[in-house]
Amino acid sequence: MDSPADGDGEGGWSALMAAAQDGDRRAYERLLREIVPFLRGVARRRLRGEADVEDAVQDTLLTIHQIRHTYDPSRPIRPWLGAIAERRALDRVRSVSRRAGREEELTDLHHETLQGSSTNEGERRLQARDVRAAVADLPPAQRRAIELLKLQGLSLAEASVRTGQSVTSLKVATHRAVLALRRRIGGDERT
Amino acid sequence: MRTEDLVGSLSADLAPVKRLRPPMVRAAGWLVLSVLVIGAVVTVKGFRPDLEARLVEPWEVAQLAAALATGVLAAIAAFHLALPDRSDSWALLPLPGFALWVASLGWGCVADFIRLGPDGIALGTSWSCLGFILALSLPLGGAMLFALRHAGPIRPVPTAAIGVLSMAMLASVGLSLVHHLDAAVMILVWHAGAVLVAVALSTGLSRPGFRIARRLSTAAA
């Protein structure tokens, strides 16, 4: 049902992953740097926006990290990497289409306001309501990360213990949540 | 976070991991464990008194063999499906055995009808059959899915469905050695029904189930 190992021929990615499974950090870093263009290629077949492609690549890297013990060095590594990249790209496609269904373009009318703090009180309240609504609309992992790290003020280590997610996953989830909130509330102010 | 920073962060986080053994070896180990558990339950409950007479009837033996083959092949399929670089078509492996089992039960219903008339397909209730199969297959299936938790980010639904199908079919074989159910229609409804309920539950719960399993293993690490 599966083809036999044919050697990956990609600068020894397979050997680098085998070394990484044994704990070799330099081999792992080199492997991840070398495979990023390949992962981008897989993601670009499914996604258009470069920001979404990059998100899919980062999700793929996180999944690779999580399940690196499932790679068998006697088998070619490209199908293993490609399958993971494909899954994460499809997830991102679904998330993009969900987002497209929820959002509408901001016009100048949305930015109209009045001068003076008291006259803007109502608008500030509306904005606070929008922020709460936007946080509630985030994917569960991002919402949890924002709630724990930004609203409850936990440290990354505490939030990691609370959620069972790694510190890296939490950092990525928070970063994405902030970007999503900016996109939703303040227009496209990506950093 | 930029991708380059993530690469640096993941490399800094790196800890050695133990590679998974080949899927056939893991499936075999799992099958031995589940046969031991189901065998122990069957032994405690006691074999049905007419078992010997049943096991000389080719039709009955073929039915049991189809159920057993489905259980074994589904376990093998689940351990392959859980790996990213294996084909989705592993999910098809247990389906011919399952179709044969259901078809044999359907044919049994026809035979009972010809032999006994409408009484032969009268449907009674046997909640104990449903309970036996669910009580065995859900905990065993849950434990199996814990062992397959790396499937969560890859193929959660097919892996959970086929894994629990395996346990439910083995439980059904165990039940056939214990319980008096003569009418094929009863086996079709209560055994196959229980198997489908177990598979439906595991399909619905696969994503949160795998998430919980990963959290438990992270917390334990």
Inside any domain, residue A4: no
Chain A touched by B92 (CB under 8 Å): no
Interface test with A, best of B81, B85, B149, B159 (most A CBs within 10 A): B85
Interface test with B, best of A70, A149, A167 (most B CBs within 10 A): A70
Inside any domain, residue A191: no
Q: Do B20 and A69 touch (CB under 8 A)?
A: yes
Rounded to a whole number of angstroms, the distance from the CA of B162 to the nearest CA of chain A is 17
Judged on CB neighbours under 10 Å (0-12, 13-18, 19+), B156 is buried
Write the secondary structure of chain A as one string of H (helix), E (strand) and C (coil).
CCCCCCCCCCCCHHHHHHHHHCCCHHHHHHHHHHHHHHHHHHHHHHCCCHHHHHHHHHHHHHHHHHCHHHCCCCCCHHHHHHHHHHHHHHHHHHHHHHHHHHCCCCCHHHHCCCCCCCCCHHHHHHHHHHHHHHHHHCCHHHHHHHHHHHHCCCCHHHHHHHHCCCHHHHHHHHHHHHHHHHHHHHCCCCC
CA A25 to chain centre: 22
Place of tokens 């339950």: B41
Domain count, chain A: 2
pLDDT at B163: 95
Q: Considering only CB atoms, which chain A residues are within 8 Å of B22?
A: 72
pLDDT at A149: 84
> Residue A58 and residue B6: Cα distance in Å, rounded?
7
Please, which residues have CB within 8 angstroms of residue A184's CB and are 6 or more apart in sequence? A103, A130, A134, A137
Domain boundary among A74, A102, A130: A102
Chain A touched by B214 (CB under 8 Å): yes
Whole-number Cα distances in Å, A64 to A20, A59, A84, B96, B139: 11, 9, 7, 34, 29
pTM score = 0.75
* One domain for residues A67 and A34: yes
Range of the domain at A147: 116-186
Q: Do B20 and A70 touch (CB under 8 A)?
A: yes
The alpha-carbon radius of gyration of chain B (Å, integer) is: 20
> Residue B183 and residue A69: Cα distance in Å, rounded?
48
Q: Do A168 and B11 touch (CB under 8 A)?
A: no
> Residue A105 and residue A31: Cα distance in Å, rounded?
40
Chain A touched by B88 (CB under 8 Å): no
Place of tokens 């980062």: A58
pLDDT in tens, A116-170: 556 666 666 777 777 778 888 888 888 888 888 887 777 787 788 778 778 788 8
Task: Specify the CATH number for the domain of residue A35.
Answer: 1.10.1740.10
For CA atoms B132, B135, B138, B140, the dihedral sign is negative
Q: Are B196 and B169 in contact (CB under 8 A)?
A: no
Inside any domain, residue A98: yes
Q: Do A172 and B1 touch (CB under 8 A)?
A: yes
pLDDT at B137: 85
For CA atoms A38, A41, A47, A52, the dihedral sign is positive
pLDDT at A40: 95
* One domain for residues A87 and A124: no
Chain B touched by A38 (CB under 8 Å): no
ipTM: 0.83
pLDDT at A118: 62
* One domain for residues A75 and A120: no
Inside any domain, residue A14: yes
Q: Do A166 and B218 touch (CB under 8 A)?
A: yes
Rounded to a whole number of angstroms, the distance from the CA of A156 to the nearest CA of chain B is 14
Chain A residue at shortest CA distance from B215: A164
pLDDT in tens, B132-179: 888 888 888 888 889 999 999 999 999 999 999 999 999 999 988 888
Residues 151-190 (B) with a CB less than 8 A from some CB of A: 153-154
Q: Considering only CB atoms, which chain B residues are within 8 Å of A36?
A: 3, 7
State yes or no: pLDDT of B112 exceeds 60: yes
Task: Specify the CATH number for the domain of residue A137.
Answer: 1.10.10.10
Q: Considering only CB atoms, which chain A residues are within 8 Å of B220?
A: none
Residue A103: phi, psi to the nearest 5? Answer: -100, 155
Chain B touched by A58 (CB under 8 Å): yes
Q: Are A107 and A126 in contact (CB under 8 A)?
A: no
Domain boundary among A70, A102, A134: A102
* One domain for residues A18 and A93: yes
State yes or no: pLDDT of B114 exceeds 90: no
> Residue A85 and residue A95: Cα distance in Å, rounded?
15
Give the residue with greater pLDDT, A190 vs B207. B207
Whole-number Cα distances in Å, A180 to A165, A172, B70: 20, 12, 46
Domain boundary among A42, A76, A102: A102
Inside any domain, residue A111: no
Residues 122-151 (A) with a CB less than 8 A from some CB of B: none
* One domain for residues A28 and A86: yes
Rounded to a whole number of angstroms, the distance from the CA of A21 to the nearest CA of chain B is 5
